[in-house]
Structure 1
Amino acid sequence: MYGDSDGFYAWTATDESGRGACGITGEPERAAVLLSRSLGSLAPGATGTVRVVRLNRLARHPSYIYGPTVLRLQRTREAAVIVVGG
């Protein structure tokens, strides 16, 4: 369903103070690397996700339709780590 040329990966990283970063890429591995780098520059406790997105071709203005979360990370004192589950 998400394997065609309309599929992208949105990554978002934020900390408790509201600082963060986000972006869109066509490659899931690149989204994971960018998310991990961004979390590394934020305070411990910061969280981030990578979600599947698709272009909404029916919208009047460019927009995305967000799909499932495929990766969830949390920044610890040492590094960004994978968080399993909800």
Structure 2
Amino acid sequence: MINSDILQRLTQEISGRLNAAGQTTPGSTALKSLVQEAVSKLDLVTREDYERLLQIHQRTRQRVDELAKRVEELENKAASDKN
């Protein structure tokens, strides 16, 4: 789930923007609950999970590129063997 520091910053940011726009803001606890509820409905991943998945993707992409190069070399070899 989202950590409390981020939740607090979001709550403060929303309060600040609402106040700047001349809107009244609900109490801090009520706003924090609204933000928590909204965030919980989002399909979020942690930074650590994102970084781990990015590394997996990069390794997979590298492997696919290596295999594509190998296939191309084999196709070129097969074509030259036919001639």
Higher helix share: 2
TM-score, structure 2 normalization:
0.25
Higher strand share: 1
**Larger of the two Rg values belongs to structure:** 2
TM-score, structure 1 normalization:
0.24
